[in-house]
Structure formats: C-alpha cells, structure tokens
Structure 1
Amino acid sequence: MNPPYSEKAGFSEQPRMSDSDAPSYTPFRTTFACLSLHQSDRIRMMQFPPADVSAIRSVIQRHWNKGLQTERVYGASYEFKLSGYPWYGQGSDAITSRVVVREIFAYLFSRGWILHLSTDVSRSKYDKDSLIFRKQQTPPPPSEFIAITFNQGDRMRLIGAPNALLADVRTLLKEMNLLQAEDWKDRKLEAWEYKMYGWPWHATGEETMTTRLLLLKLLETLESRGWSVYASIDQSTGTEDRSETDSWYVVKERGWVEGSAVFHR
C-alpha cells in the first residue's frame, strides 16, 4: 500500500477533482472602452455602445460652440472631427475645450464608464493621451465635475468651481505668498484665473519643490471640500520646443457633507 505522505515531495497527495465535481460559476468579464484625442480637432471612441456614441455627439454639439465638422467610422473606432482647433487650446478655446472634456467625463461617469487609466502610447511629437474606461454595472452616485488647468508659466484656472472652493484656493495661494492677482477669465464659462508670483510651471532649482508643495496643498484643499482628482490628462498639442501641462478633472459626490469621507475613483 502506498504511504499517505510522499517523502520526495514533502506533502500528502490529494485526490484530483473531476470536472463534474467542480463548482459552477459565471465567468467574470470586464468591458473596456477607449476615448482618444488626435491631431488638433478629433475625438475617437472605441468599443462604446452606439447609444453612448450618440450621447457624446450631443455633448460635443452642446458645449463646443463651433460645432462638429464631420464624423465617420475610422478603423475600429468612431471619429468626431470638431470645427476649429480645440486641442491647440489657445485663447477662449482653451477653456471651452476643457468644458467639453469635463462634460464628456461627467456623462460617461453617470453611465458607469469609470476612467481606468490615461496613457500615452505614441511617440508622435504632438501626441495626446488615450483614456481607457472600465464599465461598472452599477453607476456611481450622482456627482459633479470641475476642471483645473495650469496655464502659461504662472496662471491657474478653475472652471466651474463653486465660490467656496475659489475662496479656499485664494487663501492657500496667499498663505504660500504666491497670489499676485485674480479675476474672471471667462465669466460665462465660470473660469476663474489666479496669477501667481514667479513661474511655477517653468520652475528651476529649489522652486521646483515649491511647485510640488503647491500641488500637495491644492489636493488637500480640494479634499477638504469633498473633491478628488478623477483624471490628469494631456489634451493639448505642444510645440517642438515646449510640452503642455496636464489638465485636472475633479469630481465630488453631489450632496457631500463636510466632514464625511471622500471617495477616490
């Protein structure tokens, strides 16, 4: 009779489970989709259902005042070509293009499409991020979004932010001796701009650490009001000698109460 313990293997041999004995289960399957920004004026959507593609068309038409120029099937994706040049991000277009992306995030979020990652998979000089979304069967609670951009060498804009948050950021910049001036950049689009001393987005030497400290303090300020950064993406076309800063898209659960937990997605 064979011994129950294998001296060679060092453990007891267990009987193998037959296929008929294995428990039944439903295979787990995750659905992913991609939204990517191209050239100076294109949005491409891949693996989103037709209803969501149609809804994004409406979002673009509602928030991009220059409208859509054309649309088509492009390879394995569906492409929208916007009139004008939203990804050059100059002048008022710099704000409007962030509103468009903010509202795209808000719609997809409400449908359970949660950003999984933003990634740069192109070596092109003028590339932008690809945004990978994961389908969540139960959509998250109703939420609101704002955008934060880092402009020129010394400006920061909050787009769509409530007055209480604007006041908190003002206090932060004053405490760090950074606030030089502030005013509406675009009142209609609710874009408030802070101009700072120095060149935080072109910093060198020890000033590079002041810039990083500002970002940490900004995150703490956002969280104190229930906001968390949902996405940080490169959506602007740079130049041969200059790259562009990311834009932040920040989310807060509607009805959040001060002092309650802030959920990061």
Structure 2
Amino acid sequence: MAEVIAQALFKKANSGPPKPPTQTRAQQQQQLQYPLSTTICCIYLLGNDKIRLINAPSSLVSSLRLAIIKTWNQHILAESRLDFNGGREEVIYEFRVGGQPWALSPKAGPFITSTNLVLAMKKAMETRGWSLVLASNMSRVREENDLLVFEYRDSKAGSGLSLTPSQERDPDEITLVGESEQKNKNDHKNGGQNQGQEQVLSDEGSIDMLNVELSGYDTIRVSEAPTVIITALRLAILRHWTQGIEKESDKKGVHEFTLTGCPFQTWGAETTFEVSMVIIQALENMQLHGFKLVESTDLDVIGSGNENDEFEGKAP
C-alpha cells in the first residue's frame, strides 16, 4: 500500500502517452484555412549539448553544421533527423556537440563562449535569408534564451519588413518595422516628419495592436485581440499541443488559454517539438490576419517566467 501511495505522489502529471486534442468538426474545418508554416522555423537549444532545428528546409542543415564546426572548438558528437512531423519536407534535425555549451559551466576553452556559437548560427541563418524575429527563454531552466525563431525574408518579393541593425543585436527586444514606418523615420531625419506622418495615415489607415503573453508554465494570455485572432491562436494550440486546452476564460478584454500539462517547462523531446510548433503556427496564423510581431520583451523580473509579445496590424 505504501508503494502505491509513493507512486501516486511522485508520478509526473501527464506522463502517459499523449492524447490527441479534442476538436469539434467546425474546428477541424477551420484548420484547413491555416496552412502549416513553411516560412517560419526555429533553433532550440536543448539540454546541455543539443541544437535542434525545427520546421526548417533541409538546405539549412549544412549551413548550421558549418557554423558549429567553424565556431565551436569541440566536435559534433552525433547528428540525427527526427520524425515528429509525419514525413513533411521541413526537417527536425538535431546536433549533439561536445563541451556542453548550454551548461552552467561549459567546457569551451579559452576565448570561446556559447555566445559565439549562438551568434555564428544567427549569422548563418541570416546569410540564407532567415531573420531572427523572436528569442525566448522557453524552458525556464536557465537565464539565457533557448528558443530562437526565424522568418524567411525574400528580398525580391518585397515583403516590406526589415530588422534594423541595432534591433538585430538585441534578441531580448526585437522590433519589426514596415516600409511605411521606415519611410516616416527617414522623413523625420530629413526634416519632413509631419508630412511623412500624414502620408502614412492617409495611405495605411489606423493601426491595431495586441499583446500575447506566455505566463508561468501553462498559460497563454492575449489582450485587446479581435475574435478572429483568439480563434487563430486556439487552432494553433489544438493543432500541435497534443494534451489540448484545459480551460479558457475571458475577462475585461483579456482572453486566457490554460493548457493541459506544462508546455513552457520543456524537458521532453516531444514536448519541445510541440511547443515550438505552437509558437510557429501562432505566428503564421496571426500573419494571415495582418498581424506582425513588432516587439518581444522578457518580463521575468521576479522569477515568474512571463514573456510579453506585441503584435501590430492594420485595422479592418
């Protein structure tokens, strides 16, 4: 009897096999409106020694491998392609490197730090057209950011979004600016601030902004969001988080999703992949409704593990 009680006390919640989330027929039909993202991927720094490339084209694997070899003075111990995505072309590829770069005391050698390795990987991604748009401390295990999210920017397509050099240097606070806003800043430098602002307002219309907050270990909180964005976030969660949504609440313009399990305390391999895909799909879904990430701020000032992401879009 004592053994049974001990097992009940120390057994991890949701330690059994993941169950598919419950979706209504209407939600299943709505999912068809949101394609799986092919322009957003991420690099996840996992455990003490793993680098995981998620939802990326296979062409990025060699670039990342070269960046690791050139920058890190320890060998790549193992490489593997993981199949969590049902055989899709976008890969989930994992490197395991020596020296434990993500440990509290990495064995890198003199004049080499894990920061050098992260910078080299960011440069490799940027060279291939993938710009950093979000950096987050997703695992809540250490102080550094361990989830780096990138978006493909085709310069020939004229997407109208760019990262300014000063913003690219600071992964904790990244701002995207559109062509019209950049033009306004240039007009200000040239002494035509008022004229530039009037042109933006007349051409672009008013701007909507909303906040998405990752709170604690299981909560996504969205403020000042239209119903279509709340639906888009719900579908992103249900699509990739197999444990589903435990409950939802709405109060004073703030909609809160409480997820089953602890998605933002990632210790398992499948959990890492799922929560990464939730973030990627949420960004993709909101972009389809005209909202772009303009600022990401770490609000973990008292150890609560909160992160606030601000989105901007044109009002319909």
Same fold (TM over 0.5): no
Counting helix residues as a fraction of each chain, which structure ranks higher?
2
Please tell me whether Structure 1 or Structure 2 has the larger radius of gyration of its CA atoms: 1
TM-score (norm 2): 0.36
TM-score (norm 1): 0.42
